[in-house]
Structure 1
């Protein structure tokens, strides 16, 4: 039994690390068009965990989407509005101390995001990408990992993977100070999201919160792109 549990833990960890490394290589080196990159990410972050769950019949991924009460929805919407306010407020408050001039050029050069497709990208990031990342990092890499290993390891691994995954895509966006601050913010955000996942035993609540966080980031993007 112990050997099986260890094997399952290693399998989940390896799948998460592989997904992050492949996407990091694609973001930093290959740099395909945004549509192709999104297709690859959907395959890595959803199809592979689902295929693995077919192999391990006791890995119930459907339970990640179960909502027990309307209270969860109200909490997630309230928390989402709060997160939106914090992120946009932070931009207004500290924006003058950091240089955001490289963000637009880096997005266009490295990620294929331009003024022409930014609205499409913003919609995709807000609704689909947020769900994809919650499923992969919070559902698969936290809730399901926590079933076969320690709570502490699951919290740290999931949050660290979530933060470091974003490194490749943000290369060249900011100066080193803001870059490190952003990575720290992503790690802390991952810990907070994991708390909600653990409390409500699903990813629905954090998906809505993540969605509102992306609303704020995309709104800042509209400002930077001068749309």
Structure 2
């Protein structure tokens, strides 16, 4: 069994989301805490190496583009047609306003979600944590554990947005994506495909916000 520090590494991003979003009720504070954790924890760890984690292989790039296009279509296309059945737009707009996701600052937040988020999340989960787990266990353990704890803090984000059991349904695609990106990490040996696919999935979410929610 791993020690307490290992489990803290798995739970740390969720704790940052909890403090920023549920306790301090601010998207900006949440981003600062969350992305600082994703960035600095691997940097400060002497056991982290980014060697061969990011690849320019054409195969990885195409895996990312093709899978990301599927995620984008599922997210934006699905909610474009079905949002009336799952989302109370007035409640969601008020919630996002309370979190500070409004005004001119929203462009900065969108930039972070599209350009910073896919890179740092994949570096942390499918890079840093994937390698840490494989030091003792198998690639399958790494795929499942990173997907579970990656999904955990997304669940915190959707609890206020959806009533039970829709909040569970809402994070199922996140869990599936986490498993898939972990699989791509194992298959290709890099996180390049995951970053590209993750970016396109996040782009779908931002399109839902911009064209449906806003």
Q: Give your verdict on TM over 0.5.
A: yes
SS in 2 for 1:126: helix
Of the candidates 124, 133, 156, which is equivalent to residue 145 of structure 1? Answer: 133
1:135-184 CA deviation, whole Å, 9 max, x = no partner? 11221222442233233332221111011111222231122232111122
Q: CA deviation at 1:115?
A: 4.2
Question: Scaled by the length of structure 1, what TM-score is found?
Answer: 0.84
Query: What's 2:80 paired with?
Result: 92
Contact 2:87 2:162 in 1 (8 A): yes
Determine the structure 2 residue equivalent to 1:26: 20
* Aligned counterpart for 2:52 among listed residues 57, 60, 63: 63
Distance 1:80 1:181 in 2: 20
2:171 alignment counterpart: 183
CA distance in 2, matches of 1:33, 1:187: 22
- Secondary structure of 1:49's match? helix
Contact 2:155 2:168 in 1 (8 A): no
Question: What's the counterpart of residue 3 of structure 1?
Answer: none
Native 8 Å contact 1:143 1:201 kept in 2? no
TM norm structure 2: 0.88
Q: Unaligned stretches of 5+ in structure 2?
A: none
Check if 1:202 corresponds to 2:190: yes
2:144 maps to 1:156? yes
1:106 to 92, 95, 100: 95
Which residue in 2 is equivalent to 1:42? 35
How far off its partner does 1:75 sit? Answer: 2.5
Please list the CA deviations of residues 61-104 of structure 1 after superposition, one character each: whole Å capped at 9, or x if unmatched.
Answer: 33322x15222212212222222112112113422322332222
Q: How many residues align?
A: 213
Is the 8 Å Cα contact of residues 12 and 140 (structure 1) preserved in structure 2?
Answer: no
Q: Which runs of 5+ in 1 are unaligned?
A: 1-5
Partners of 2:13 and 2:166 lie apart in 1 by 26
For 1:22 and 1:68, how far apart are their aligned partners in 2? 32
